[in-house]
Amino acid sequence: MPKHILLFFFLCGGCLAGWWSSNITQAQPAQSKNDTAILLKPARLFDGEQIREGLAVLIRNDKIQTVAPLAEIQIPADAKFMELPNATLLPGLIEMHSHVLLHPYSETPWNDQVAREHLSLRVARATNHLRNTLLAGFTTIRDLGTEGADYADVGLKQAIEQGIIVGPRMLVTTRAIVATGSYAPKGYATEWNVPQGAEEADGENLIRIVRSQIGKGADWIKVYADYRWAKGKAAPTFSLEELKLIVETAKSANIPVAAHASTVEGMRRATLAGVETIEHGDEGTPEVFKLMKERGVALCPTLSVGNQTRKPEMMKAALAAGVIIAAGSDVGVFAHGDNVRELEAMVKVGMTSLEVLRSATSVNARVLHLGEQIGFVKAGWRADVIAVEGDPTREVSALRKVKFVMKNGIPFKGAE
């Protein structure tokens, strides 16, 4: 390489440290589009499918412009250069099952969060949850229900898009849909009509509720295909016909449906109805996973929560059947920003670190119908990239060592 180019990199590298530090400390809500070209030189690159070496990544505005060996890249005169020694560059991680309006139940029980915490308090707390999530390397989340906080997820999403607060890209489901009498809070005198943590609906009324949620900003519809009834044991809630009505109504507006389902019958009905993801799946069997595989339904196993004695057996059956595994944790039950614990749990039940990384990037992007925008480090894709110390394709816990985070070409965390 010519000496004058090496000198350029050396000088710009020093300049970048100050520039990058300034951008991190000023990663305030007022940030707008970044028009500076940025050249990233990691030790290795995970592109969403495989690990690659000897590549650099040029970013301009909110897009990845070039992924190629350094000598083949036409470097703009205004480019900022950043060396990332011993670091892996990879797509921003995607969280498929989040509840940003919840905080750990060890702090406050779910019933009290839903019934006793002011909406304004929950929204204020959620802004910190969103920041923590982004700085942990998760640049996109699918939030699966506001749990009694009405349509606050829509407002939070808009606040991020408008640069008012800092957070990941959000896809929201708003209130979620439950069968009358099946959800919570419970335990009140029968003469009281207690506001629920989701929206109750039945029969033909489901059409109106689905349309209403879409009209108010839902990117996905979430339905509870089963839940714990009064006696505490999970059982199916909606009939197959009702679930089909939900899916058909949503799909007519090009909105996909996710189903909470932990029982075999709840999973079977949801799959036959045409949902795109099943959340939890604790009691899943080889037979129901075979059906999911045939119908192209993804499983979001939320290994971080639920029946920990049943989960490993369930995952073994799902993997054997070849079901699409989407990485999602049910974060909110535990602390936001600790989302990597789900990816570590996926390795413990038999997935390789490489398979888990694909699940949390390219697989999740495809499930979200965003596979041509995010989830990969490719020219033309959005500049959602993170760097971690070490090689997460060998040891997934390396994802806890986040060195920098960029979303839409804007840096929010980096080497100072």
Residue 398's CATH number = 2.30.40.10
Verify that 44 and 180 share a domain, yes or no.
no
Q: Which residues contact 96 (CB under 8 A, 6 or more apart)?
A: 141, 142, 277, 300, 326, 327, 328, 364, 367, 368
How far apart are alpha carbons 209 and 68 in whole angstroms? 49
Instruction: Tell me the per-residue pLDDT of 77-100, one tens digit each, with 9 for 90 and over.
Output: 999 999 999 999 999 999 999 999
Give how many domains the chain has, as a whole number: 2
pLDDT score, position 10: 38
Helix and strand counts by DSSP (H, E) for the chain: 12, 19
Q: Is the peptide bond preceding residue 109 cis, with omega within 30 degrees of 0?
A: no
pLDDT score, position 26: 40
Span 272-296, average pLDDT: 98
Per DSSP, helices labelled H in 106-204 are 110-116, 119-135, 152-161
Verify that 110 and 195 share a domain, yes or no.
yes
How far apart are alpha carbons 17 and 8 in whole angstroms? 14
Verify that 188 and 81 share a domain, yes or no.
no
Quick check: 337 pLDDT over 50?
A: yes
Residue 353: which CATH number? 3.20.20.140
Verify that 291 and 325 share a domain, yes or no.
yes
Between strands 410-413 and 402-407, the pairing is antiparallel
Residue 9 pLDDT grade (very low, low, confident, very high; cuts 50, 70, 90) = very low
pLDDT score, position 47: 98
* Percent over 70 (pLDDT), the chain: 91
Verify that 130 and 236 share a domain, yes or no.
yes
**Among the three residues 329, 345, 367, which one is the final residue of a domain in this structure?**
367
Looking at the DSSP assignment, which residues form a beta bridge with residue 169? 140
Verify that 16 and 100 share a domain, yes or no.
no
Quick check: 64 pLDDT over 50?
A: yes
Exposure on the CB side of residue 237, measured as CA atoms within 13 A = 27
Verify that 155 and 236 share a domain, yes or no.
yes
How far apart are alpha carbons 52 and 88 in whole angstroms? 10
pLDDT score, position 19: 44
pLDDT score, position 206: 98
> Token digits for 365?
């992007």
DSSP letters spanning 25-53: HT--TT-----S-EEEEEEEEE-SSSEE-
Span 12-27, average pLDDT: 42
How far apart are alpha carbons 46 and 248 in whole angstroms? 38
Verify that 236 and 137 share a domain, yes or no.
yes
Quick check: 15 pLDDT over 90?
A: no
Among residues 377, 340, 407, 410, the alpha carbon closest in space to that of 140 is found at: 407
The residue segments making up the domain with residue 118 are 93-367
Mean pLDDT score across all residues of the chain = 92
Alpha-carbon dihedral sign for residues 70, 74, 77, 78 = negative
Verify that 262 and 382 share a domain, yes or no.
no
Amino acid at 17: A
The answer to whether the beta carbons of residues 171 and 140 sit under 8 Å apart is yes
Verify that 292 and 324 share a domain, yes or no.
yes
Residue 12 pLDDT grade (very low, low, confident, very high; cuts 50, 70, 90) = very low
Residue 34 pLDDT grade (very low, low, confident, very high; cuts 50, 70, 90) = low
Span 298-307, average pLDDT: 93
Among residues 169, 280, 277, the alpha carbon closest in space to that of 220 is found at: 277
Verify that 188 and 265 share a domain, yes or no.
yes
Quick check: 384 pLDDT over 90?
A: yes
Instruction: Tell me the per-residue pLDDT of 231-256, one tens digit each, with 9 for 90 and over.
Output: 778 999 999 999 999 999 999 999 99
Q: DSSP state, 382? A: B
* Percent over 90 (pLDDT), the chain: 84
The better pLDDT of the pair 196, 90 is held by 90
The sheet that has 298-300: what strands, in order across it?
199-201, 177-179, 221-224, 257-261, 277-280, 298-300
pLDDT score, position 193: 85
> Token digits for 119?
């909406």
pLDDT score, position 110: 95
pLDDT score, position 230: 66
Quick check: 35 pLDDT over 90?
A: no
Exposure on the CB side of residue 211, measured as CA atoms within 13 A = 8
The answer to whether the beta carbons of residues 225 and 267 sit under 8 Å apart is yes
Verify that 73 and 184 share a domain, yes or no.
no
